[in-house]
Amino acid sequence: PSHIRNAIVLPRYVRVNTIKTTVEKVMRHFADKGYSLGLPEELAASEIPPMRIFRDEHLPEMLVMPPNTDLHDDPLLVEGHIVLQDKASCFPAFLLRPPKGATVIDACAAPGNKTSHLSAIMSNTGTIFAFDKDRARLDTLIRLTTRSGCTNISPIHGSFLDTDPNDPKFAKVEYMLLDPSCSGSGIVGRMDHLLKDTSENDVDGETDERVRALADFQKQVILHAFKFPAVKRVVYSTCSIHRTENEDVVQHVLAESPKFGLVANAFPKWTRRGLEGTFDQADRLVRTLPEEDRTIGFFVALFERQGGHQSAAA
C-alpha cells in the first residue's frame, strides 16, 4: 500500500448545542441555506459532494458537512447554537455521560469544548468544576461556555494536580473528564507523525523525551483523579497516536491503582480499539485513525471504580 498520506482532509464536524437548539432546527437552518441531506454513500466517498449535510452514525448531536465549509460568521455559531468540534473529541463526554444533577470535574478544560459538551449532556444541571492552569485559556473557556448558554460551570484557575482531593467542595464529585496536554500527534496536518508506523513505540530523538515527559504528567493526572473519594467514572483522552501516551499510560495507572478498572463495553459500536499486543485489556480502549475514520487521531479510556461504588447503569 502507498505510504503517501499528504492529502487527508477531514469533513467539517458540527456539534449541535442542545442547551440552545435541536438537531432538527439546525438541519432546517442549513436546508434554508441550500444544503440537502446527503446519502451514506456520498459521505463515504473520497470527496464529499458540496452542499450536503449528514447525521453522524455514532453521535446523536453531530452533523457532518463537506471539508472546509466556512461557518465562522454563521449566526448559529456566533450565537452558540453549534460548536465546531471534531468528531473524536466528542467521544470523551459522550462516553462519560454524567447524569442530570451530577457533580463533575473537567481537569484540563480550556478552551472548553468538552466542558460545554458535558454541560449539554447534563441538560445544564448539576456542577462542572472546570480547571485550567492557563489564565488566558481559562478566559476563553468562560467566553465560549457562556456563548453556549452553560450555567452549570464553575471555572477554577490553577493546576488540577495541586487540588486537595479531600476538599469538602469536591466531596460529591463522581465523574471526571481528563484531557491533559499531549503531543497532539493525532491532529491532522502534522504529517511527520502520521507517516510513522503507530504499532511501534515510534517516538524518537528529542520527541522521545518530550513524549515521555507528557506521559509522566498524564499518569499523574489520572492517579490524582483516582484519589477523589466519591469518584466512580473517569474518562481519559488524548489527541495523540503514540502508545506511550495512550495504552502505556493506561496500563501503568491500572497497575498502580487496583481500585479502578476499565469499563468492559465502552462504545461497543466503535470497532477500532486499543493497539493489539500492548496489554491484555487493549480491546476495552478506543482509538481513531484519521484516514480510516475521517476524524483526528484520538484515544479514549473509560475507567470505573471496582467493587461497591459503581453506578448501576454500568
What's the min distance (Å) between Cβ of 272 and ligand SAM? 21
Give SS3 for 101: coil
What's the min distance (Å) between Cβ of 103 and ligand SAM? 18
13 is a site residue for ligand SAM (CB under 6 A): no
Q: Under rule CB under 6 A, which residues in 180-219 are in contact with ligand SAM? A: 180-181
Does 56 carry a binding-site annotation? no
User: How big is the CA angle at 285 (ends 280 and 291), to the nearest 5 degrees?
Assistant: 120
| Closest to ligand SAM by CB, 133 or 309 | 133
Does 45 carry a binding-site annotation? no
Does 111 carry a binding-site annotation? yes
Residue nearest to ligand SAM (CB): 108
How distant, in Å, are the alpha carbons of 25, 27, 48, 66 from that of 38?
17, 12, 9, 10
What's the min distance (Å) between Cβ of 285 and ligand SAM? 18
Does 132 carry a binding-site annotation? yes
Cα separation, 201 vs 160, in Å, equals: 28
Cα separation, 168 vs 49, in Å, equals: 54
| Closest to ligand SAM by CB, 131 or 298 | 131
Q: Is 239 a catalytic residue?
A: yes
By the 8 A CB rule, do 185 and 193 touch? yes
Q: Please classify residue 65 by burial: count the beta carbons closer than 10 Å to its beta carbon, then call 0-12 exposed, 13-18 middle and 19+ buried.
A: buried
How distant, in Å, are the alpha carbons of 63, 138, 176, 245, 308 from that of 298?
19, 23, 18, 11, 31
Task: For residue 10, give every residue at least 6 positions away whose Cβ sits within 8 Å of its Cβ, in sequence order, or none.
Answer: 67, 86, 188, 290, 294, 295, 296
User: How big is the CA angle at 60 (ends 54 and 61), to the nearest 5 degrees?
Assistant: 75
| Closest to ligand SAM by CB, 15 or 81 | 15
What's the min distance (Å) between Cβ of 160 and ligand SAM? 4
What's the min distance (Å) between Cβ of 157 and ligand SAM? 9
Q: Which stretch binds ligand SAM (CB under 6 A): 35-43, 177-185, 228-236, 267-275?
A: 177-185
Q: Which stretch binds ligand SAM (CB under 6 A): 53-61, 121-129, 156-164, 297-305?
A: 156-164
What's the min distance (Å) between Cβ of 129 and ligand SAM? 11
Cα separation, 301 vs 293, in Å, equals: 18
x/- string (CB under 6 A) for ligand SAM, residues 109-148? xxxxxx----------------xxxx--x-----------
How many residues of this chain bind ligand SAM (CB under 6 A)?
19
160 is a site residue for ligand SAM (CB under 6 A): yes
| Closest to ligand SAM by CB, 53 or 96 | 96
| Closest to ligand SAM by CB, 103 or 115 | 115
| Closest to ligand SAM by CB, 174 or 179 | 179
Classify residue 119 as left (phi > 0), alpha (psi -120 to 50) or beta.
alpha
Question: Alpha helices, DSSP H only, in 237-296?
Answer: 247-256, 290-293
Q: Under rule CB under 6 A, which residues in 260-279 are in contact with ligand SAM? A: none
Partners of 172 in beta bridges = none
By the 8 A CB rule, do 95 and 89 touch? no
How distant, in Å, are the alpha carbons of 130, 142, 154, 181 from that of 136?
14, 10, 16, 16
> Residues within the annotated binding site for S-adenosyl-L-methionine?
108-114, 132, 179
Binding site for ligand SAM (CB under 6 A): 89, 108-114, 131-134, 137, 159-161, 179-181
Q: Supply the residues annotated as catalytic.
A: 239
